[in-house]
Chains A and B, each alone.
Chain A
Amino acid sequence: MYTLTRPILIFLCLGVAALVLFPLVGSEFYVGLLIRIMILSIFAISLDLLIGYTGLISFGHAAFFGIGGYTLAIFFQDADSINFWIALVLVLSCSALVALLVGWISIRASGVYFIMLTLAFAQMFYYFFFESPDFGGDDGIFLFSKPEILIGSTSLIDLEDEHNFYYFVLAWMVAVYLILSMILKAPFGHVIVAIKANESRVRALGYPVQRYKLVSFVIAGTLAGIAGFLEAAHTGYVTPAYLGWHESGIVMVIVILGGMGTLFGPILGAFVIVLLQDFLPNFTEHWQLLMGGIIIAVVLFLPKGIAGLLYRLSNRLFTSKEYADVSQNSGDTPATVDVREQSL
């Protein structure tokens, strides 16, 4: 239930501009790290659709990340080249199909049982790949080339070049963000946000609630599949760890830390978590403890995560004029995206 206020919109645009410029000045190491962060961001935004908007607490979201990666690896492990378009279609359909299956069963349960079911499914996939020699077992599968994006017979962009890959992932991140913003403003988005707020009332108002939950689950799973596909293409390998519960846990921490129900919050969360993982070990070998402490502090003192902090700051800095603007607008514009969080 957040609107992008003008200051935050400006902040996000500046952030994207900074990401566009970064490879011109940054080291190769950080270009690589940012690629990882942006892929993780896509993964986290997709989970935010479930946790922050639909009210489905999935603790097995890594399953789809892994399915995306494995789809690429399994179909192209012996191939000399990877046709991006074919790979994309395969990844989209496999992750959507698996999400449909997992979601169809899981949404029958709610609350803590839903959490358990999603976790159990992810663990099943984990052990399936772990114990399948055909699919690399615990070593995983290596890929020897990057996808080629061909239009006709000319290559659109050479992904073997790390900078190109960086811009490719950046474009995906922005696109996924925009697609989800669009979906949330559309009638579908209004329904799922209402489901999160009060499911039985939404049903009583005439909506087949389960169907909306399932579609939301499939969209989120498919987008997570794209993230896994990008990760596999970037690193050149997949292992069962892609679908482990550790991965599901990390992405959930990212969403909560960044601020659920905001879409951009999880992106900030991914940056903060990965950069902390990168910086903290320089100061102390007990950095994991410190990391835990930071997460606890954020949850306690910033209940709406980093995004919530930004809202509070921007409200304080840009005073009451913004409020006036918003209240004028919201007269004609309904639901979800248009309410300023009142408690902030």
Chain B
Amino acid sequence: MSEVILRTEGLCKHFGGLQATHEVSLSFERGVTHGILGPNGAGKTTLINLLSGELAPSSGKIFFKDYDITQATSDKVSRIGIGRSFQKTNIFADFTCFQNCWVGAQSRLSSSMRFIRPARHLREVHRRTDRALQLCGLAERRNIQASSMSYGEQRQLEIGMMLATEPELLLLDEPLAGMGSEESLKITELLKELAKEHTLILIEHDMDAVFAVADRLTVMVNGAELETGDVAQIRNSTAVQEAYLGSSEDAA
């Protein structure tokens, strides 16, 4: 069995009386793409927010390669190599694509507390920015202001910014949400490509994409883990069918 890169122990988060995350203990292995499924409000985004340091857990622990990162803030989590993309597009609307990715790429300097030399002379940051734009498919759109792009392109940029930080572990919160079918296919291909060299934790409602990319799946309901297994196991699980897959097919 391969090495566990990220692990949670009895993770809980409540908002007032609402249990958004309930006793979640999961292990994510290096190199394995781990999909997280669940109906709306199941607590998927909350889980990602806990892992990325955006929220502090009410109780429980998070370990990244044996480091306890339970209390780490999102900047620290990013710096140790965990990147995340947001479900609700979270970009710098007035910046161009290039500038959006630049902020991500520049964050890998040992410090940006540099006051004298113009940033544009930083070759390494340039390279990372260009690479991120290339990967997310926006190389041609580099000088377009983010707010003037289509929603789908903004979603691509969302991923590009994360990639610019060159993370080892990627937390992807519904990367395909709101994309057209053509863009969706492109990004699914990108995810497959990224999965070769990275560890991915992927929340996605698009089942085709999940089944195409993920190796393992966890189904969440009401903040708790319902079942975890490989793709075939989850597809055939009756509990999962009832709780999630079944109901979403009914809805469709």
> A: which residues have CB within 8 A of B?
1, 182-183, 185-191, 194, 197-198, 200-209, 211-212, 215, 327, 330-336, 338-339, 342
Assess the A201–B91 pair: CB atoms within 8 A: yes
Chain A minimum-CB-distance residue to B107: A206
> B: which residues have CB within 8 A of A?
52, 54, 73-75, 78-79, 84, 86, 90-96, 98-99, 102-104, 106-109, 112-120, 122, 125-126, 129, 142-143, 145, 148, 161, 165
Chain B minimum-CB-distance residue to A331: B143
Residues of A with C-beta under 8 A to B114: 186-188
Assess the A342–B75 pair: CB atoms within 8 A: no
Assess the B99–A204 pair: CB atoms within 8 A: no
Cβ distance B20 to chain A, nearest Cβ, rounded Å: 19
Residues of B with C-beta under 8 A to A189: 119
- 4 pairs of A and B residues whose beta carbons are closest in the complex: A206-B78, A206-B107, A187-B112, A185-B118
- Interchain residue pairs with CB less than 8 A apart (14): A186-B115, A190-B112, A201-B86, A201-B90, A201-B91, A201-B92, A204-B84, A211-B113, A334-B98, A334-B102, A334-B119, A334-B129, A339-B99, A342-B145
CA distance A333 to B98 in the complex (A): 9
Cβ distance B142 to chain A, nearest Cβ, rounded Å: 7
Assess the A190–B119 pair: CB atoms within 8 A: yes
Assess the B75–A209 pair: CB atoms within 8 A: yes
Indicate which residue in A185, A209, A212, A327 contacts B119 across the interface (CB closer than 8 Å).
A185
Residues of A with C-beta under 8 A to B93: 197-198
Given contacts A185-B119, A203-B75, A327-B143, contact A342 B91 (CB under 8 A): no
Cβ distance B79 to chain A, nearest Cβ, rounded Å: 5
- Main secondary structure, interface of B, reads loop
Residues of A with C-beta under 8 A to B98: 330, 334-335
CA distance A209 to B79 in the complex (A): 13
Assess the B74–A190 pair: CB atoms within 8 A: no
Residues of A with C-beta under 8 A to B165: 205-206
Indicate which residue in B102, B143, B148 contacts A190 across the interface (CB closer than 8 Å).
B102
- Main secondary structure, interface of A, reads helix
Chain B minimum-CB-distance residue to A189: B119
Chain A minimum-CB-distance residue to B111: A187
Indicate which residue in A203, A212, A338 contacts B73 across the interface (CB closer than 8 Å).
A203
Assess the B103–A205 pair: CB atoms within 8 A: yes
Residues of B with C-beta under 8 A to A342: 94, 145, 148
Given contacts A197-B92, A331-B143, contact A204 B78 (CB under 8 A): yes
CA distance A187 to B161 in the complex (A): 17
Given contacts A203-B74, A327-B143, A342-B148, contact A335 B95 (CB under 8 A): yes
